[in-house]
Amino acid sequence: MSDTWAMPSGFPGLPPGQVQVWRLSTDRDPQAGLAVLSAEERQRAGRFRTDLLRARYVAAHAALRLLLGRTLDIPADRLRFRQNPWGKPELAEGDLRFNLSHSGPWAVMALARGIEVGVDVEMARHPPPLEVADIAYSAAERAALAGLSGPALTAAFYAVWTRKEALSKGIGRGFSFDFTGFTVSADPAERTSRPVLPPGLAGADWHLHDLPPIEDAAAAVAVPAAGAGVTAWRFEPGLWGL
C-alpha cells in the first residue's frame, strides 16, 4: 500500500476483496454530523462529559455513516446496524464490512466487501505504558521490547499494540480473545507482516499492514487475505458535507 494518505477526486470504488482505510481529524464542528446520526448515537454523544469528546465522537461516527452510505448508495441516516455475538458492530444487511477506531483527534475507518477487516489507531505516549505489555503482550513480544529504550521502545510498543488491536477487531471476538495467545511483529520497519496465531485460528491467512504516518500516532489494519489491496484516503473537512 502507499505510504501517504491520498485526497480523493471523487468517491473511490470498492471492488470485492479490496480494503479502503480513511483518516479523519475529528476536531471539527459537530453540527453537520449530528444530522446523520441515529437517535441512539445522538443520545450517546450527549453523555460525553466535555464538548471536545462529544464533537470527536460525532465526527467519527458521522463520517463512518457517510462512507458506508456512499458505498451502498443509501442515505447515511437510513443505515441500520447490529452486533455480532461478541459485540462487533456490523451492517444489518449485505456483505460490506467496516471497522472504526479513534484516539485523541484522529479516527480511522476501514471498509471492505466480502472480507472482515479490523483497524486501530493509538496516540503515542512517551514513555509508553509498559504495564499494558505485561498483561496483553505475548512472551515473544515482551522479549522484543526488553532490549529497547527511548524512541525505539515507543515505536516498537505501538507497532505491537496497533497490530494486535487491529487483528483482534478483525477477528471480531471482543475481549474473549486472549491477547497473550498470539504474536505480531515488534519491528516498526516491517510494515506488512503475518501474525503467529493460536491453533484455533491457524488456518486464517491474516495479514497486518501499518498505515501511512499520522501525526503523533500509530495505526494498522488487519485483513484475512494475502492479495487484498489496501488504499489509504484522507477525509478532509467539508468533504461530502461534514
What string of pLDDT tens digits covers the 242 residues of the chain?
A: 789 999 998 899 999 989 999 999 999 999 999 999 999 999 999 999 999 999 999 999 999 999 999 999 999 999 999 998 888 999 999 999 999 999 999 999 999 999 999 999 999 999 999 999 999 999 999 999 998 999 999 999 999 999 999 999 999 987 778 899 999 999 999 999 999 998 877 667 899 999 999 999 999 999 998 778 999 999 988 887 77
pLDDT at 203: 65
pLDDT at 202: 64
pLDDT at 77: 92
Nearest to 119 by CA among 164, 68, 72: 164
Phi, psi of 191 (to 5 degrees): -75, -20
